[in-house]
A and B are shown apart, each in its own frame.
Chain A
Amino acid sequence: MTEEPTNLDSVEETEETEEDEEVDELAAVTKERDEYLDTLQRLKAEFDNYRKRVARDQQELAARAHERLVKELVPILDDLERALAHEGDVEEGIRLIHRQLADALAKEGLSEIETDGKFDPHTQEALLSQPSDAAEGDVIQVLQKGYRLGDRVLRPARVVISAGSNG
Chain B
Amino acid sequence: MAKTIGIDLGTTNSCMATLEGGEPVVIPNAEGGRTTPSVVGFTKDGQRLVGAPARRQQVTNPENTVFSIKRFMGRKFDEVNEEMTIVPYKVVKGANDDVRVEAGGKQWAPPEISAMILQKLKADAEAFLGESVTDAVVTVPAYFNNAQREATKDAGKIAGLNVLRIVNEPTAAALAYGLDKEGGDQTILVFDLGGGTFDVSVLDLGDGVFEVKSTNGDNHLGGDNFDKAIVDWMIAEFKKDQGIDLGADPMALQRLYEAAEKAKIELSSTMTTQINLPFITATQDGPKHLDQQLTRAKLEELTHDLLQRTVGPTKQALTDAGLSASDIDHVVLVGGMTRMPATQAKVKELIGKDPHKGVNPDEVVAIGAAIQGGVLKGEVKDVLLLDVTPLSLGIETKGGVMTKLIDRNTTIPTRKTEVFSTAEDNQPSVLVHVLQGESEMAAYNKTLGKFELVGIPPAQRGTPQIEVAFDIDANGIINVSAKDLGTGNEQQVRIEGGSGLDQSEVDRMIKEAEAHSDEAHKLRELVDTRNNAESLAYQIEKSLKENREKLDESVASTVEGRIMELRGVLESSDVADIKAKTDALQQAWTEAAQALYAQASSSSSQSQPGNAGDGSAPSDDEVVEDAEYEVVDE
Q: Is B250 an interface residue (CB 8 A)?
A: yes
* In the bound complex, CA of A156 to CA of B242 (Å): 30
Q: Is the CB of B23 within 8 A of A48?
A: yes
* In the bound complex, CA of A38 to CA of B472 (Å): 11
Indicate the member of A42, A128, A153 with the most B CB atoms within 10 Å: A42
Q: Is A52 an interface residue (CB 8 A)?
A: yes
- Quick one: closest A residue to B381, CB to CB? A40
A contacts with B: majority SS = mixed
Q: Is the CB of A126 within 8 A of B413?
A: no
Stretch from A5-13, A62-70, A79-87, A117-125 at the B interface? A117-125
Out of B59, B254, B384, B414, name the residue touching A46 (CB < 8 Å): B414
Q: Which residues of A contact B31 (CB under 8 A)?
A: 152-153
Out of B61, B251, B411, B473, name the residue touching A48 (CB < 8 Å): B411
Count contacts on A: residues with CB < 8 A to the other chain.
32
Q: Which residues of B contact A128 (CB under 8 A)?
A: 59-60, 250
Out of B56, B413, B415, name the residue touching A125 (CB < 8 Å): B56
Q: Is the CB of A129 within 8 A of B43?
A: no
Q: Mark B44-59, 1 if CB is under 8 A from A, else 0.
A: 1100010001101111
* In the bound complex, CA of A37 to CA of B409 (Å): 22
Q: Is B183 an interface residue (CB 8 A)?
A: no
* In the bound complex, CA of A125 to CA of B196 (Å): 22
* In the bound complex, CA of A126 to CA of B41 (Å): 13
- Quick one: closest A residue to B44, CB to CB? A137
- Quick one: closest A residue to B47, CB to CB? A121
Quick one: given A37-B383, A41-B383, A121-B57, are A47 and B410 in contact (CB under 8 Å)? no
Q: Which residues of A contact B413 (CB under 8 A)?
A: 38, 41-42, 45
Q: Is A107 an interface residue (CB 8 A)?
A: no
B contacts with A: majority SS = loop
Quick one: given A45-B414, A46-B414, A128-B250, are A121 and B22 in contact (CB under 8 Å)? no
Quick one: given A48-B386, A137-B44, are A158 and B474 in contact (CB under 8 Å)? no
Q: Which residues of B contact A122 (CB under 8 A)?
A: 53
Q: Is the CB of B49 within 8 A of A121?
A: yes
Q: Which residues of A contact B123 (CB under 8 A)?
A: none
Q: Is B412 an interface residue (CB 8 A)?
A: yes
Q: Which residues of A contact B45 (CB under 8 A)?
A: 137
Q: Is B32 an interface residue (CB 8 A)?
A: yes
Q: Is the CB of A49 within 8 A of B22?
A: no
Q: Is the CB of B53 within 8 A of A121?
A: yes
Out of B54, B254, B411, name the residue touching A121 (CB < 8 Å): B54
Quick one: given A40-B384, A48-B23, are A126 and B59 in contact (CB under 8 Å)? yes
Out of A45, A127, A137, A161, name the residue touching B412 (CB < 8 Å): A45
Q: Mark A44-66, 1 if CB is under 8 A from B, else 0.
A: 11111101100000000000000
Q: Is the CB of A38 within 8 A of B59?
A: no
Chain B 446-496 interface residues, beta-carbon cutoff 8 Å to A? 473-474
Q: Which residues of B contact A121 (CB under 8 A)?
A: 41, 43, 49, 53-54, 56-57
Out of B56, B61, B386, name the residue touching A124 (CB < 8 Å): B56
Q: Is the CB of A38 within 8 A of B474?
A: yes
Min Cβ gap A84→B in Å is: 14
Indicate the member of A45, A47, A126, A144 with the most B CB atoms within 10 Å: A45
Q: Is the CB of B411 within 8 A of A45?
A: yes
Q: Mark B418-446, 1 if CB is under 8 A from A, else 0.
A: 00000000000000000000000000000
Q: Is A143 an interface residue (CB 8 A)?
A: yes
Min Cβ gap A132→B in Å is: 13
Q: Is the CB of A152 within 8 A of B386?
A: no
* In the bound complex, CA of A42 to CA of B475 (Å): 12
Q: Which residues of A contact B21 (CB under 8 A)?
A: 44, 47-48, 51
Quick one: given A41-B386, A121-B41, A122-B53, are A129 and B60 in contact (CB under 8 Å)? yes
Q: Mark A15-48, 1 if CB is under 8 A from B, else 0.
A: 0000000000000000000000110111011111
Q: Is the CB of A161 within 8 A of B251?
A: no
Out of A46, A156, A163, name the residue touching B56 (CB < 8 Å): A156
* In the bound complex, CA of A37 to CA of B22 (Å): 16
Q: Which residues of B contact A51 (CB under 8 A)?
A: 20-21, 23
Q: Is the CB of B56 within 8 A of A49?
A: no
Q: Which residues of B contact A152 (CB under 8 A)?
A: 31-32
Quick one: given A44-B384, A51-B21, are A127 and B414 in contact (CB under 8 Å)? no
Q: Which residues of B contact A42 (CB under 8 A)?
A: 413-415
Q: Which residues of B contact A37 (CB under 8 A)?
A: 383
Quick one: given A38-B413, A121-B56, A121-B57, are A44 and B22 in contact (CB under 8 Å)? yes
Q: Which residues of B contact A161 (CB under 8 A)?
A: 60
Q: Which residues of A contact B44 (CB under 8 A)?
A: 136-137
Q: Which residues of A contact B54 (CB under 8 A)?
A: 121
Q: Which residues of B contact A49 (CB under 8 A)?
A: 410-411, 414
Q: Mark B1-43, 1 if CB is under 8 A from A, else 0.
A: 0000000000000000000111100000001100000000101
- Quick one: closest B residue to A163, CB to CB? B60
Q: Mark B190-210, 1 if CB is under 8 A from A, else 0.
A: 000000000000000000000
Min Cβ gap B375→A in Å is: 16
Q: Is the CB of B49 within 8 A of A52?
A: no
* In the bound complex, CA of A151 to CA of B577 (Å): 56
Q: Which residues of B contact A44 (CB under 8 A)?
A: 21-22, 384, 386, 411
Q: Which residues of A contact B22 (CB under 8 A)?
A: 44, 48
Q: Is the CB of A127 within 8 A of B411?
A: no
- Quick one: closest B residue to A127, CB to CB? B250
Q: Which residues of A contact B251 (CB under 8 A)?
A: 127, 143-144, 158
Chain B 158-197 interface residues, beta-carbon cutoff 8 Å to A? none
Indicate the member of B22, B56, B58 with the most A CB atoms within 10 Å: B56
Out of A41, A158, A163, name the residue touching B384 (CB < 8 Å): A41
Q: Which residues of B contact A126 (CB under 8 A)?
A: 56-61
* In the bound complex, CA of A44 to CA of B251 (Å): 52
Q: Which residues of A contact B61 (CB under 8 A)?
A: 126
- Quick one: closest B residue to A154, CB to CB? B32
Q: Is the CB of A45 within 8 A of B383?
A: no
* A–B Cβ pairs within 8 angstroms, 9 of them: A42-B413, A44-B21, A46-B411, A46-B414, A48-B23, A127-B250, A128-B59, A136-B44, A137-B45
- The interface of chain A, by Cβ under 8 A from chain B, is 37-38, 40-42, 44-49, 51-52, 119, 121-122, 124-129, 136-137, 143-144, 152-153, 156, 158, 161, 163
The 4 closest A-B CB pairs, nearest first, are A48-B411, A125-B56, A129-B60, A121-B53
Knowing that A44-B384, A52-B409, A127-B250 touch, tell me 13 more A-B residue pairs with CB under 8 angstroms.
A41-B413, A48-B23, A51-B20, A119-B57, A121-B54, A126-B56, A126-B59, A127-B251, A128-B60, A136-B44, A143-B254, A158-B251, A158-B254
